[in-house]
Amino acid sequence: MPMLILSITGALRQVIVIVALQYTDSHNVAIIQPTIPIFTALISYYLKIEKMNYITAFSIFLSFFGLAITAEIWNLKTFDLGFYLLLTVPITKGLQVIYINVATKYVNNDIIQFSQMFFLLIITLPFGILGEIFINQNYNILQETYELNMRQFLCILYSTIAIIILCWKIQIIALNYLTPITVSLYQSFQPCFTFVLARLFLNETINATKIIGTIFIILSLFLYQYGCNKHSKKG
C-alpha cells in the first residue's frame, strides 16, 4: 500500500503542476513549495508518525500567515485557477514523502524509484494525450512530437533527468536517513532560485508581497525545526 500511495501521489503532483502552469505564473509553484513541510507535519501528526508541541503549532500558523501575504488574500482578483490548483500540491507531496520514508524500511531504493516512474508514465501519458485532444483540440499529436525544436527537446530532456531521475533519487536516499519533514524543509528553499530564474528567463514580475510572504514561510520552517529539536532534547 505505501508503494501505491507514494507512486500515485508523485504522478498526480506532476499532473497538477502542468495543468496549473497553464493558468498561472511559474514562480507561484515556488511560492507553494515552502508550505509542503507544514502540510507534511500535519499529515504526519494525523498518521501519528511525528508529534507536535506549542512551538511547532505556532510555526504552522505563521506559515499560513505567510501564505496569505504571498497570495495577497485581501485582493481576491489576484487569485487564479492555477494558484488554487497549486494549493493541492503540498498534500500530494506530503503523502509522497511520508510513504517513501515508510517504504525505504522494507523495499530497495531502486524499486521505489522504478515504481514512481512507472506510475508517472501510465498516469501522465494518457492525461497528456487526452488533454491535447479535448482541451487544446489538437488531433495530430504525433506530428507535433516530430516537430519539436531543439530548445523544446532540451527542456524535456532536462526535466526528465533533473526531476524524475536525479531529484527523486536524491529524495529517496535522503529519506533513508532523515524524517519526511526535514527533507521537505531543505526543498523549501526552491523560491530563492525560482524567483531569480523566472525573472531572468521568463521576465515574470515578482512583487514585494510575494517575497515578504515567502520569508515568513521560510522563518516558520526554521521555527518548526527548532520546536522539533527542543522536543527531542526533552525526550
pLDDT tens digits, the chain, 235 residues: what are they?
788 888 898 888 888 888 888 888 776 776 777 677 777 777 877 777 767 778 877 877 787 787 777 767 777 666 678 888 888 888 888 888 888 888 888 888 888 888 888 888 888 888 877 777 776 676 677 777 777 788 878 877 887 777 777 777 887 887 787 777 667 666 666 666 666 777 777 776 777 887 888 788 778 778 877 877 776 666 5
Task: Count the helix, strand and coil residues of the chain and give each as a percent rounded to the nearest 5.
Answer: 80, 0, 20
Note the pLDDT of residue 108: 86
Report the distance separating Cα 226 and Cα 216, nearest Å: 15
Residue in 94, 66, 92 with CA at minimum distance from that of residue 218: 66
C-alpha cell of residue 37: 513541510
DSSP structural state of residue 159: I
Amino acid at 126: P
For residue 29, which phi and psi values (nearest 5 degrees)?
-65, -40
Helix (H) or strand (E) holding 54: helix 54-70
Report the distance separating Cα 126 and Cα 51, nearest Å: 40
What global pTM score does this model have? 0.71
Report the distance separating Cα 175 and Cα 157, nearest Å: 26
C-alpha radius of gyration, the chain, whole number:
19
